[in-house]
Chain A
Amino acid sequence: MLFAALALLAAAAGAWAQVTIVSTQMRPVEEAERMRKQVLSALPGGATFLPEDGNTVLTRMRAELTAVRGQVDVLIALDGELAPIHQEGGLQDLDDLVQRLAATRRFSPSALALGRMGGERQRFIPLMTNTFQMVANRQALRYLPPGADLNALTYPQLLAWARAVHQATGERKLGFPAGPKGLWWRFFQASFYPSHTGGVVRSFRSPEAEAAWAQLRELWQHVNPRSTSYAFMEEPLKTGEVWIAFDHTARMLPALQARPDDFVAFPAPSGAFGRGFMPVMVGLAIPRNAPDRAAAERAIDLLTQPATQAQLLALFGFFPVVETDLSSLPPGVRIAAAGMTATLNAPDGIASRLPVQLGRKNGEFNKIYVDTFTRIVLRGQDIRRVLEQESRWLDDLLADARVPCWAPDAPSGNQPCRVR
């Protein structure tokens, strides 16, 4: 009671001001409550945690940035959602803060690099991350082609591996979430296109892309045909219907947690241009006209402490961006974390950004990749003709949305991204 009264007095005096956090993440009611009660309650002045969707945040920030003094101390958002705010000069420089924080924790260098948003200065401090990766049943490991290293697998090796499993077991045991509720398009945007062509949009119908599609047709001979109805790969992994799978970490985690001794996690394979991966990076930023930078810094300090990072993983399924002792976590989570670390730190990695700036055009954008797959691989249509036609629609869509290129495609300045 006494402490609470003191805290109230102190807060009133402005010593421990309350920090206002606007977040595009942890939006479901239960998640927001957990964030307030279990994580942010450790802040001395308390926090106002406001979950809002990405578009609302962008609109709000545009309005607030025109004011002398804003209302928001800390922004929690995907890096792609922070990018347009940064483009308008709305984010503070956090170089000094990140240096101070680095004294007591070790950030992942690749995550910190993303926080510089293509410039010299730290614009956001990474908070947590997630990604797509692969999981294999240990029974499949003995069919790995000789000399193959799981953490440095290539597409030709994946083909040889899936073929060997197929020949040995008589079953097609490579699996993809290609069903109506699966995140199938992410396979193309995160791994297939970046690895084989170095881009996602510009190289859509390049000769490299044509060759890659031909290879995917070959690979599909060893892919479980029920893949076109899979949604979350945890199910077929658990039943043993699939031994090797690609999906979002959260969608395979239940299998790893149920039978941690049976599975390994590792990065998706590499192609001629490197190892494509899609880091889902959530960052912490301070708006240019934030009312209380000291309070904001305290909140960022708390959220990036190793103990809080482990808590975020347990509460929300997002993985740490600072070195964290995960030994107390369940073994299944540790397997997923190991695969994620290998993915994020692969020496030949090519980060492919989430196409968040497409906004409402996202569904149509994703449809183009899935349709291209369906036409080429499932319906056996001519590769060049399909790529020609779908690339026209891709151009139309990007021109309508007026979206410039994003990584891994080379920047296009203010011009809409176009297929080469």
Chain B
Amino acid sequence: MNHPRLPYLLVAPSVVFLLLLFVWPLAETALLAFRTEGGEFTAKYLERMVGDLNFGIALRNTLALVLVVVPLQVMLALGMALMLQRLERGRMVFLSIWTIPLGVSDLAAGLAWLAIFTDRGYFNSALMSLGLVDGPVGWLTYQNPVALFVCVVIAEIWRATAIVLVILLAGVQAIPKEYHEAAAVFGANPWQRFRRVTLPLLRPSLQSALILRTVLAFEVFAVVYALAGRDFPVLVGEAYSWQGAYQNSHVAAAYALLILGLSIAATLVILRALRVNRAALA
């Protein structure tokens, strides 16, 4: 059983799997973005992407969403995780309710929020029955970009905070009680205990949660598509249009590479900012 080659044999299937289903398509995508049908290498698809009407807006919208949604979600999830930690009874009930959105598909979530924010939706009906507005307000039109952005942010927070919560909750539960008790003995107040004990020990979980959420936030698409259609361009939406509506896989591939690049850059930044000293943890 202790054959020296055994470990390599055991990891081989997953390596083959990754090469076949990840590295190969990735290489194909890169080629698609930089090579013409005739086989020459070119930057014209990249130029087409950057020069396009919607490129700047899509990039700005995506970055704005990441910068607003991710921190809000992390703060919310942190608060929720700490509250759950304190609950004596019914913790599972709250946790189950809070994680319902995890089981809802992106598009379904988008459609649910569409039913709320659309012209004749629940939100306008509520406002009208309260007498706050005279007629339906168009929240989801390009003429009202701020409202559109806020609606997308709300829907995204509802949909994807749970995944952050689950990761952070696991982290919070893994912190031994003794640290808090020791800190309390030395007279640390709750805020100090949170700042000096919980947060530093939560760093590995925060790191994973942030990376996961940021990468997913760069890929935001279905919710935006359901709520705003093409009035709120985002990078993945543009890639989708170039592939589907304009049938130009080259430019779509250029968008895909850009999203990949942004995700990698964000991951590196988070890894660096929240450096975890593995030795100290052990």
Task: Determine the interface band of chain B, counting residues with CB < 8 A from chain A.
Answer: 10 to 19
* Contact partner, B141, options A229, A361, A363, A396, Cβ 8 Å: A229
Contact: A375 with B53, CB < 8 Å?
yes
From A229, which residue of chain B is reached at the shortest CB distance? B141
B52 contact set on A, CB distance < 8 A: 371
Name the residue among A228, A364, A389, A393 with the largest chain B CB count within 10 angstroms. Answer: A364
- In chain A, positions 154-182 with a C-beta closer than 8 Å to chain B are 180
Name the residue among B51, B53, B230, B245 with the largest chain A CB count within 10 angstroms. Answer: B53
Contact: B245 with A374, CB < 8 Å?
no
* Contact partner, A400, options B37, B141, B229, Cβ 8 Å: B37
B44 contact set on A, CB distance < 8 A: 396
With A180-B230, A371-B53 as contacts: A363 and B246 at CB distance below 8 Å:
yes
Chain A to chain B contacts (Cβ below 8 Å), 15 pairs: A180-B230, A180-B231, A229-B141, A361-B247, A363-B245, A363-B246, A364-B246, A367-B246, A371-B52, A371-B53, A374-B53, A375-B53, A389-B51, A393-B48, A396-B44
B142 contact set on A, CB distance < 8 A: 228-229
Q: A131 CA to B52 CA in the complex, in Å?
A: 31
Q: Is B248 an interface residue (CB 8 A)?
A: yes
- In chain A, positions 324-378 with a C-beta closer than 8 Å to chain B are 360-361, 363-364, 367, 371, 374-375
- In chain B, positions 86-136 with a C-beta closer than 8 Å to chain A are none
- List of 9 A-B pairs having minimum Cβ-Cβ separation, nearest first: A364-B246, A360-B247, A363-B246, A363-B245, A371-B53, A180-B230, A364-B248, A367-B246, A363-B247
Contact: B247 with A364, CB < 8 Å?
yes
Interface positions of A (Cβ within 8 A of B): 180, 228-229, 360-361, 363-364, 367, 371, 374-375, 389, 393, 396, 400
B211 to chain A, nearest CB (A): 35
Q: A364 CA to B143 CA in the complex, in Å?
A: 25
Q: A229 CA to B248 CA in the complex, in Å?
A: 25
11 new A-B contacts at CB < 8 Å, known A228-B142, A360-B247, A367-B246:
A180-B229, A180-B230, A229-B141, A229-B143, A361-B247, A363-B245, A364-B247, A371-B53, A374-B53, A375-B53, A393-B48
Q: A180 CA to B229 CA in the complex, in Å?
A: 9
A396 contact set on B, CB distance < 8 A: 44, 48
Q: A389 CA to B47 CA in the complex, in Å?
A: 11
A11 to chain B, nearest CB (A): 44
Interface positions of B (Cβ within 8 A of A): 37, 44, 48, 51-53, 141-143, 229-231, 245-248
A186 to chain B, nearest CB (A): 16
B245 contact set on A, CB distance < 8 A: 363, 367
A180 contact set on B, CB distance < 8 A: 229-231
Q: A12 CA to B253 CA in the complex, in Å?
A: 57
B162 to chain A, nearest CB (A): 32
B53 contact set on A, CB distance < 8 A: 371, 374-375
A360 contact set on B, CB distance < 8 A: 247
Q: A374 CA to B56 CA in the complex, in Å?
A: 14
B248 contact set on A, CB distance < 8 A: 364
B48 contact set on A, CB distance < 8 A: 393, 396
B138 to chain A, nearest CB (A): 9
From A367, which residue of chain B is reached at the shortest CB distance? B246
From B244, which residue of chain A is reached at the shortest CB distance? A363
Q: A118 CA to B279 CA in the complex, in Å?
A: 81
Q: A371 CA to B241 CA in the complex, in Å?
A: 14
From B248, which residue of chain A is reached at the shortest CB distance? A364
B231 contact set on A, CB distance < 8 A: 180
Q: A180 CA to B245 CA in the complex, in Å?
A: 12
Q: A180 CA to B142 CA in the complex, in Å?
A: 11
A400 contact set on B, CB distance < 8 A: 37
A2 to chain B, nearest CB (A): 56
B229 contact set on A, CB distance < 8 A: 180
Q: A75 CA to B178 CA in the complex, in Å?
A: 84
Q: A228 CA to B142 CA in the complex, in Å?
A: 10
From A362, which residue of chain B is reached at the shortest CB distance? B247
Q: A232 CA to B148 CA in the complex, in Å?
A: 24
A375 to chain B, nearest CB (A): 6
From B246, which residue of chain A is reached at the shortest CB distance? A364
A358 to chain B, nearest CB (A): 10
From B37, which residue of chain A is reached at the shortest CB distance? A400
A367 contact set on B, CB distance < 8 A: 245-246
From B247, which residue of chain A is reached at the shortest CB distance? A360
From B38, which residue of chain A is reached at the shortest CB distance? A400
Q: A167 CA to B238 CA in the complex, in Å?
A: 40
A182 to chain B, nearest CB (A): 13
Q: A393 CA to B52 CA in the complex, in Å?
A: 10
From B230, which residue of chain A is reached at the shortest CB distance? A180
Q: A139 CA to B198 CA in the complex, in Å?
A: 73
A172 to chain B, nearest CB (A): 15
Name the residue among B37, B143, B230, B247 with the largest chain A CB count within 10 angstroms. Answer: B247
A228 contact set on B, CB distance < 8 A: 142
B141 contact set on A, CB distance < 8 A: 229
From A225, which residue of chain B is reached at the shortest CB distance? B143
